Amino acid sequence: MSASNALEQIELHKALAPRYAYRYSFEFSRLFQEDWHREMLRLLPEKSERVLDLGCGTGFFLAELEALRPGAVGLDISHAMLRVSEQYVPGARLVTADAERLPFRDRSFDAIFCKGSLHHTRDHVRFLSNCARALRSNGVLIMSEPCNDNFLIRWARAAMYRVSKHFHPDDKGFTKTGLVALMERAGFEITYAGRYGFFAYIFAGFPDHIGILRWVPGNAWIVRRMLALDRWICSTRFLRILSFQVVVSGRPRRS
Ligand SMILES: C[S@@+](CC[C@H](N)C(=O)[O-])C[C@H]1O[C@@H](n2cnc3c(N)ncnc32)[C@H](O)[C@@H]1O
């Protein structure tokens, strides 16, 4: 990662840490996040023991990982984010570092999760190659990243990233085929590529930005219905392009 991008990401996420704590403080938004986590966790092989959450942020996902696989490790470039993680996940090992320079021995982990951190970096292949090296032979990388397949979403995301001080203008989403290609270039064999999130992503994902559900009675019930609808949308051939996230997993190819 360029030193200037690293510093800018640290600065950006310093301001975001309290917002994330607020974001996850509503039952309806936690319902959404937990559903998103399940979508990633179902790709975790049963036998995997050592797991890493790369770009763990305030630790909301890491807390689930730690409950499932005690001794989970969370890494983030932002110390401010990790200070919130300490409260959520007192048992986990937290490491402040740049994902483009992983401070772990080769073949240290059975699974690496990456929920929304790759698009903050600039050398994606290097980031992913580091993951391949840090995984054991049968290990798996499980990612969820912003999906830009739909031109409306691509446009809205680019506009928001440019205008809002809570985003970095150089961060970009991926197309599904683009992310798959990056992983293959970094030495992964793809084991799953799918899509996630539409209505619940918009209305329950970011109450710090789109807060309308905070004021609606029965918001948890509404989010459950949205999640069911989103699952249907993401399984439908002509509608799944609407998804906001792409979920991809892969195993390192060993020669
Ligand atoms: C969109 S947030 C997602 C946080 C968390 N995974 C979640 O779902 O709540 C992205 C995270 O990636 C971290 N990040 C950005 N660039 C990074 C890098 N080069 N190395 C490690 N973490 C990075 C940020 O500090 C931030 O916590």
8-state DSSP, 106 = T
Residue pair 53/74 in contact (Cβ under 8 Å)? The answer is: yes
- Kindly state if the Cβ of 198 falls inside 6 Å of ligand 1: no
User: Which of 25, 65, 77 has most ligand 1 atoms within 8 Å of CB, for mutation?
Assistant: 77
The pLDDT tens digits along the chain (255 residues) read 567 899 988 988 888 888 888 899 999 999 999 999 999 999 999 999 999 999 999 999 999 999 999 999 999 999 999 999 998 898 889 999 999 899 999 999 999 999 999 999 999 999 999 999 999 989 999 999 999 999 999 999 988 888 888 888 888 899 999 999 999 999 999 999 999 999 999 999 999 989 999 999 999 999 999 999 999 999 999 999 999 999 999 999 987
Distance CA 186, CA 122 (A): 14
Q: Residues 188, 252: contact at Cβ < 8 Å?
A: yes
- Closest ligand 1 atom to 81 CA: 27
Residue nearest to atom 4 of ligand 1 (CA): 57
**Does residue 13 have its Cβ closer than 6 Å to ligand 1?**
yes
Q: Is 208 in the pocket of ligand 1 (CB under 6 A)?
A: no
Atom of ligand 1 nearest to the CA of 58: 9
Nearest to 241 by CA among 196, 183, 180, 190: 196
Q: Whose CA is nearest to atom 26 of ligand 1?
A: 57
Query: Does the beta carbon of 61 sit less than 6 angstroms from any atom of ligand 1?
Result: yes
Q: How far is CA 135 from CA 106, 127, 191, in A?
A: 7, 13, 15
Measured between alpha carbons, how far is 200 from 189 in angstroms, rounded to an integer?
A: 30
**In this structure, are residues 143 and 179 in contact, taking their beta carbons and an 8 Å threshold?**
yes
Residues paired with residue 189 on neighbouring β-strands, in sequence order = 251
- Domains for the chain: give ranges and CATH numbers: 3-252 (3.40.50.150)
